[in-house]
Structure 1
Amino acid sequence: MKSDTLLVSAGRAHGNAVPVNPPVVRASTFLFDSLAAFQAAGKTPFDGPFYGRVGTPTTFAFEDAICALEAGHRSIATASGLAAISATLMAFAETGAHILVVDTVYEPVRRFCNRTLKRMGVETTYYDPTLGAGIADLIRPETTLIYLESPGSGTFEVQDLQAIVAAAKARGVATAIDATWATPLLLKPLALGIDVSIHAATKYIVGHSDGMLGVITTNAAVHDRVRAASQDLGSCAGVEECNLALRGLRTLGVRLERQGATALALAEWLETLPQVARVLHPALPSFPGHALWKRDFTGAAGLFSVELSDRTDGAAARFIDSLKHFSVGFSWGGFESLVLPMHPESRSLGLWSDLGPVIRLQIGLEDLEDLKADLAQALAK
């Protein structure tokens, strides 16, 4: 089935007199008629109702739907995107291990590596997102994982996923990617040979800014160790959140198409304005990673950044505070437009120290002309 058809049908029952949507099963405890039945269910606790923390029929429906979209082995729902990332990193963490993490990573990941993993005796090396095949030079005998995020947080660098995967496989190193920007529709990490695909389902998948949720999809080779780490951390997904994500999946295709088209139109227009020094959007031909984006992705999401020409103190605040249709807030992927300042100069490699104010724009479902007029008047200020 094509992706749009999968969005409608995946994770749903089909047959006579079945509900359109999977029922919301709120349960901590499932009852069994005999000890033998209880013990039998305990042998495969992730395949059916056993205990609420390891899943309910609602959880399994969401996991099945994501796994179908990702074409993976199994999917694992977690309490948040960060919980999904933490479980993945913990799956490959051991005392004396070394991991490679892209320097444009989501900032809480850097915090987890520098705080929790360091305390466990795991060393993290941050690498340039444009390194590509050169990452082979950073792989050590003790390297257990290469962690990717493409496009990168805030500045949207596109990594050469195929070259990095080839280098990793040549040395027997696992790979994982935060693919939240692309959703399961615009990038297929497992088809490119990446072992673990992670999504903050809080964003586009839930799609309405009203649920915290993460999801991990793996190939068969690494599934058990990632599942074990997720289980040990205990950060299970809420049933209500899985239900919200199933609802969001049904309209993900049309929302993403609309938001992506509006964002690209705004990016193309912003690129012509003197108040904008640079537009950081992978789908623009002028963007340095555009060719890689075009090779590996099938479309663009509605999130990008602009670098303002005005570098004076307060320029970013004047711009942001003048906006009417863009609210200041974390996250993205909902139906509403948002704005947030980025601070790439704080990253470890210092590659972004010469940028002017960088402002991230999340483009919602508002009318294109209304958003354009709002940005124009704010830039004029």
Structure 2
Amino acid sequence: MSMVDEVSEKTGRYFPHPAVQRFTSGVYPDHHALVTASQDTLKENYPRYSRFGTPVTDAVEQEVTRLEGGYGSLCVCSGLAAITSTLLAFLRPGDHILVNRSVYEPVRHFINTYLSQRGVSATFLSSSEFMECDKFLKKSTTLIYIESPSSNVFEVTDIEFVVNQAQKNNILVVMDNTWSTPLLMNPIKHGVDVVIHSASKYLSGHSDAVAGIITTTEKYFSPLRKYLMMAGICLGGEESFSIYKGLKTLGVRLDTQANSASKIIELLSYHPHVGTVLAPQLITHPDHCTYNKYYKKYNGVFSFSVACVSDKKRDEFLAGFKIFKLAYGWGGVDSCIIPFTLTHFLISDPTQLFFRVSTGLEECDLLIADFKNALSFL
């Protein structure tokens, strides 16, 4: 049996999945039971209200905790909610944070607007600058936020070096591990305090649920859970069950998607119309050595560029794909491609047009043929 498996009390038969219970409020037999439940703010026993959790949510939290090697996990309504709620739970006016420069753009926007308005300042660093992060620490620095490999360009941060500096200064370290999943790397084993996943990506794996999961060490679990319960940031049973099912196939999906990605990367690396391929498994990536230090395998997400072409040529290139879908999502069973712009804070080449790719579970030969067909329009 895996995860949290149920056995019928009446028959003793084994059931492989927890029930998806659709309810808002629990019903109690008497006043004593109701009062006892109302005092159970951390869900020590079963919740009095579905905002505190459901059986399948519990199962997901327990499995992700096991996979990440943490103390406990908490499901929330989106990956971005997992990030913003963690920041809001632990930051106070006057605090300063360090963040990697190529962080997910909505996170950068949240920091520069909402957190800034509330008196929290931030310094954005490249992966190489994080190797000198002690120079950027202030007396008011209370949190370091890492997304590694980072969005679109996959900058890889040397986690143990950052953690070492943070522990010397009693600084909380939070890391977004969505790109890697718990199967490729476990940040807590390297000293990270709080790990975040957008479960909408690889963990659910079918592009049918929006969810986030936070895994913490023992020190930070109760404070964060209290904040989430007070703020009402929770996940429903249907979405939880989607993640539950996805976790069971995560390993085989990652292997298949990584294999397809590696074959396409090989094609692109020698194609005359391709300028550069951004994937940390390539020796040409600036953080290749750091990646090999921490990560066990690769996944199905990478980026590449072509020489800037007219809007007409770009549209013909994208229309040339019959299998790859033009979509922002990634980590699902369907292969996707989306153009993106290197923002001003990254070293960029204005002569290049960039695309992010996520391989799905279609046959690898078909994906390669699809790419060759689209490239013929350039």
Shift of 1:81: 0.5
- 1:352 and 1:172 map into 2 onto residues whose CA distance is 35
After TM superposition, list the pairs within 5 Å mapping 1:19-34 onto structure 2.
Answer: 19-34=15-30
Is 1:303–1:361's contact at 8 Å kept on the other side of the alignment?
A: yes
After TM superposition, list the pairs within 5 Å mapping 1:326-365 onto structure 2.
Answer: 326-346=324-344, 349-352=345-348, 354=350, 356-365=352-361
- 2:326 and 2:295 map into 1 onto residues whose CA distance is 29
1:324 and 2:317 are equivalent in the alignment: no
Paired residue for 1:311?
308
- 1:344 and 1:361 map into 2 onto residues whose CA distance is 15
Paired residue for 2:233?
235
1:11 and 2:7 are equivalent in the alignment: no
Is 1:189–1:197's contact at 8 Å kept on the other side of the alignment?
A: yes
Is 2:263–2:368's contact at 8 Å kept on the other side of the alignment?
A: no
Shift of 1:235: 2.0
CA, structure 1 residues 174+320, in 2 after alignment: closer, same or farther (shift >3 Å)? same
User: 5+ residue gaps in structure 1?
Assistant: 1-7
After TM superposition, list the pairs within 5 Å mapping 1:185-204 onto structure 2.
Answer: 185-204=183-202
Shift of 1:326: 0.9
Instruction: Report the residue type matching 2:364 in the other structure.
Output: L
Query: Which of 200, 203, 224 lines up with 2:222 in the alignment?
Result: 224
Is 1:97–1:143's contact at 8 Å kept on the other side of the alignment?
A: yes
Taking only aligned residues, the RMSD between alpha carbons, in angstroms, comes to 1.6
Query: Which of 210, 213, 220 lines up with 1:212 in the alignment?
Result: 210
TM-score by length of structure 2 reads 0.94
Is 1:176–1:195's contact at 8 Å kept on the other side of the alignment?
A: yes
Shift of 1:143: 1.1
1:158 and 2:161 are equivalent in the alignment: no
Shift of 1:215: 0.3
Is 1:203–1:332's contact at 8 Å kept on the other side of the alignment?
A: yes
Paired residue for 2:374?
378
| SS of residue matched to 1:9 | coil
CA, structure 1 residues 175+354, in 2 after alignment: closer, same or farther (shift >3 Å)? farther
- 2:350 and 2:172 map into 1 onto residues whose CA distance is 34
Is 1:58–1:242's contact at 8 Å kept on the other side of the alignment?
A: yes
Query: Which of 258, 261, 268 lines up with 1:260 in the alignment?
Result: 258
Instruction: Report the residue type matching 1:293 in the other structure.
Output: Y
Higher alpha-carbon deviation: 72-81 or 223-232? 223-232
| SS of residue matched to 2:338 | strand
- 2:296 and 2:315 map into 1 onto residues whose CA distance is 35
Is 1:104–1:129's contact at 8 Å kept on the other side of the alignment?
A: no
Instruction: Report the residue type matching 2:33 in the other structure.
Output: A
Instruction: Report the residue type matching 1:141 in the other structure.
Output: K
Higher alpha-carbon deviation: 9-18 or 281-290? 9-18
Shift of 1:221: 1.4
Is 1:70–1:188's contact at 8 Å kept on the other side of the alignment?
A: yes
Count of matched residue positions in the alignment of Structure 1 and Structure 2: 371
TM-score by length of structure 1 reads 0.93
Percent identity of equivalent pairs: 35
Shift of 1:300: 0.8
Query: Which of 258, 267, 275 lines up with 2:273 in the alignment?
Result: 275
Is 2:5–2:14's contact at 8 Å kept on the other side of the alignment?
A: no
- 2:91 and 2:67 map into 1 onto residues whose CA distance is 28
Is 2:40–2:47's contact at 8 Å kept on the other side of the alignment?
A: no
Higher alpha-carbon deviation: 127-136 or 21-30? 127-136
Greater than 4 Å deviation, 4+ residue runs: none
Is 2:75–2:234's contact at 8 Å kept on the other side of the alignment?
A: yes
Shift of 1:265: 1.7
| SS of residue matched to 1:340 | strand
